[in-house]
Amino acid sequence: MSKVVYLNEHPSDGVMSFLGLDVIELNKRTDFKHLVRQLLHERVSIAYVSEKCYEWFEEEIESYNAEFSISFIVLPNDVDHEHFGQRRLSKIVEDAVGIKVE
């Protein structure tokens, strides 16, 4: 059975924990490739990512999303809302359809 986790820069996120997700704390120095291997070993198929963590590991996340090994989904939060998710969705739509969505 597949698992879903939340990657966050804070040690706990009450809402995500309440929803039953494992919250994994990251920092800028986290070995992201090792983390992905660990997640795959634990059969994680979806990882929600805070905007701050996405900012730190954008290239790695995009490469893993292209491989479909784990689906990384950016979620905005109240603390560090930078509109990364919205801009990323606009880029995906633009790449797929050829129309710029704002």
> What CATH number is attached to the domain comprising 10?
3.40.50.10580
Q: Is residue 10 a part of any domain in this protein?
A: yes
Q: Give percent of the chain with pLDDT exceeding 90.
A: 32
Q: Is residue 32 a part of any domain in this protein?
A: yes
Q: Is residue 11 a part of any domain in this protein?
A: yes
Residue 14: the pLDDT is 72
Q: Is residue 57 a part of any domain in this protein?
A: yes
Domain that holds residue 9: 3-97
Domains in the chain: how many in total? 1
Contact, 35 vs 20, CB < 8 A? Answer: no
Q: What is the mean pLDDT of the chain?
A: 81
Residue showing tokens 């710029």: 100
Q: Is residue 102 a part of any domain in this protein?
A: no
Cα–Cα nearest to 26, from 11, 42, 44, 5 = 11
Instruction: Tokens for 73, please give them.
Output: 């989904």
Contact, 40 vs 70, CB < 8 A? Answer: yes
> Does residue 18 register a pLDDT over 70?
yes
